[in-house]
Amino acid sequence: MYSKVALISALVAIAEARFGQEQIPIAAISAVTSGGQPGEAATLAGAAISFLLAAANPCAKLSHADLILETLGEGDDAVAAARGLVGAEQNFNPFAVSIPTVCSDPTLPANELLRGIVPLVDPDVDGSDVENANAASSLTSPLNADGLSVADVMAANGFTNFDTKDAAGNVGEAPAGNADAGDNADAGDNADAGDNADAGDNADAGGANADTEDNAGTGNANDDAAATTAAAAATSTAATVECQATTFVTVTRGAAATATAEADAGNDNANDNAGNDNAGNNNAADDNAADDNAGNDNAADDNAADDNAGGAVPPEGVDPGQQVSSLGLDFGTCTPTIKFEPGLNGRSVDEFTFQAIDPVVNKGQQEALNPNIITNRICDQLGNVCGAAEDAIDACKTAQADIQALGTRDETTANAWNTALGFEGTDINPDNAPQEGLIGHT
C-alpha cells in the first residue's frame, strides 16, 4: 500500500512540475509599453495562454505572435515578447502522447523578425537536450528558416522526435533529419550542410510514435482507462496523505485564459491536468450559455440579423432559436458576430471597442480597440469550442483577412464582418451601451 501511495505521489509531483509552462511568456507580452493602445498588451497576453495548452494547434501560437507585432509594433520589448511566445514550450498530455507536436506550415510565423526561432520541449522527451539548446540560442541568433516551417527548422538542426500539425489541423510525422547532408558537401548551395550531419540520429525517433496522437482516443482504451484511474487515484490519495496535488488555475492581469477542449474523447482522461479546468473554464464546451445564450436570449436575438437570415434553416444539431447565417454556413453552437460598443469594462463612455457578441466566444476575452484581436478569437473558438464546420471556419479566416486589409476601426468594421459571414443587419450595440458596470463579456 505504501509503495502505491508513493508512486501516485510521484506521478502527481511530475504532473505539477511540467504543467503551467503556459505562464512563462505571458508576463513579457503584458508588459509591452513601446506600442499599441492601452489594454491591448494585456488582452494579447491573456489570449496567448490558450495557444500553449495541450489541445491547441501549434500553428496558432505562431499566428498570435505575428498578431502581437502587428498590434503592438516592433519595439524591442514587443519583439522580445513575441519571440518568447514562438520559443515557448507547449504543454502536451503525457497520458495520451509521449512527444510534442510542432507546426508544419512554412508560412508561419509570417513576420521575418520571428522566423528561425524554435520552441523548447519537455526535458523528458528524447533528444530534448539538443532541441532546448537550439531553442535558447535561436532567440538571439535565429536559425535558417528560408522557405521552412518550424518543424523543418527543428529537423534540420538535429531534433526529429515530434509529430507535426499544419494550420488546418492535419497531422503528420517529423521531417527526416539531415543524416546524409555531409555526402552533399560539394553540391554547391549545400556546401555547409555537413554541420547538420548528426541530425539524422533522431530521424526515425518520431516514426515510432507518429500514430500515438491518432490512437490516443481509439485503440488504446485500456491505457486511457488506466490513465484515468491513475489520475483519479492521485487526486483521492493526495487528499488522504497530504501530497498536495494541485488544480492548475491560470490568472493573468487583464484577461482570463480560455482553455480549449480536446475533441477526442480519449484525451478526456487526464486533460484536466493539462488545463481543461484552467482559468475557471471548467468545461470549455459544456452547457454554459451555449444553448440558451448563443443567440436566443441575449440582447442580439431580436435584432435585424434574425430578420435578415433569409429564412435559413439551422443546420442539424443546432439550436433552432440560434441566429443562422444567410450564407448557409454552419457555425456549430456559436454565432460569430461582433459588436462595437462604448464604455465597456470601465472605459470612458466615448471610447468604443470591439467584442464578440456570443457569450461562449467572448468568455474570458477582453474587449479590444483592434478588431483583429476579436476576429482572431472568434475564428479560434469556432474550431476549438463551437464545433463549426470546416467551410464555416474557412469563411471566418477569409473574413478575418478582409477586415485586416480594410484597416478601419469603427462601426463599419463590425458591420463588414457581420455581413461577410451572413449576418447583415446585426445590432452592433446589443447591450445598449454605455451602461454603468457593463463588462461586455462573460
Tell me the pLDDT tens digit for each residue of 137-165.
999 999 999 999 999 999 999 999 999 99
Q: Are 157 and 143 in contact (CB under 8 A)?
A: yes
Confidence of residue 248 (pLDDT cuts 50, 70, 90): very low
* Mean pLDDT, the chain, whole residue set: 72
pLDDT digits (tens, 9 = 90+) for 401-425: 999 999 999 999 999 999 999 999 9
Would you call 234 helix, strand, or coil by DSSP? helix
pLDDT at residue 288, rounded to an integer: 39
Dist. CA 345–CA 343, nearest whole Å: 7
pLDDT at residue 309, rounded to an integer: 36
Omega within 30 of 0 (cis) for the link into 109? yes
Confidence of residue 20 (pLDDT cuts 50, 70, 90): low
Grid cell of 366 as nine digits: 477582453
Q: Are 336 and 382 in contact (CB under 8 A)?
A: yes
Q: Which of 31-35, 279-283, 310-314 has the least mean pLDDT?
A: 279-283
pLDDT at residue 224, rounded to an integer: 38
pLDDT at residue 311, rounded to an integer: 41
Dist. CA 382–CA 215, nearest whole Å: 24
Q: Are 279 and 442 in contact (CB under 8 A)?
A: no
What is the identity of the amino acid at 64? H
Between these two residues, 13 and 47, which has the higher pLDDT value?
47
Q: What is the mean pLDDT of residues 207-216?
A: 37
Dist. CA 321–CA 254, nearest whole Å: 33
CB-based contacts of 82: which residues, under 8 Å, 6+ apart? 29, 65, 66, 68, 69, 111, 113, 114
Grid cell of 201 as nine digits: 540520429
Dist. CA 140–CA 413, nearest whole Å: 38
Percent of the chain with pLDDT over 70: 62
189 pLDDT above the threshold of 70: no
Between these two residues, 27 and 275, which has the higher pLDDT value?
27
Q: What is the mean pLDDT of residues 74-95?
A: 90
The greatest distance separating any two alpha carbons of the chain, rounded to the nearest whole angstrom, comes to 72
Q: What is the mean pLDDT of residues 384-390?
A: 93
Grid cell of 102 as nine digits: 510542432
pLDDT at residue 197, rounded to an integer: 36
Grid cell of 332 as nine digits: 456549430
230 pLDDT above the threshold of 60: no
Dist. CA 95–CA 223, nearest whole Å: 8
Q: Which helix (H) or strand (E) holds 404?
A: helix 390-406
What is the identity of the amino acid at 377? R
pLDDT at residue 97, rounded to an integer: 80
Confidence of residue 366 (pLDDT cuts 50, 70, 90): confident
pLDDT at residue 284, rounded to an integer: 35
φ/ψ of residue 353, rounded to 5: -135, 165
Q: Are 359 and 258 in contact (CB under 8 A)?
A: no
Omega within 30 of 0 (cis) for the link into 434? yes
pLDDT at residue 24, rounded to an integer: 84
Confidence of residue 442 (pLDDT cuts 50, 70, 90): confident
CB-based contacts of 208: which residues, under 8 Å, 6+ apart? none
Confidence of residue 176 (pLDDT cuts 50, 70, 90): confident
pLDDT at residue 322, rounded to an integer: 62
pLDDT at residue 177, rounded to an integer: 65
Percent of the chain with pLDDT over 90: 51
Rg for the chain, CA atoms, rounded: 23
pLDDT at residue 43, rounded to an integer: 93
Q: What is the mean pLDDT of residues 184-189?
A: 36
Q: What is the mean pLDDT of residues 107-131?
A: 94
225 pLDDT above the threshold of 50: no
Alpha helices, DSSP H only, in 19-115? 26-30, 40-48, 58-72, 76-86
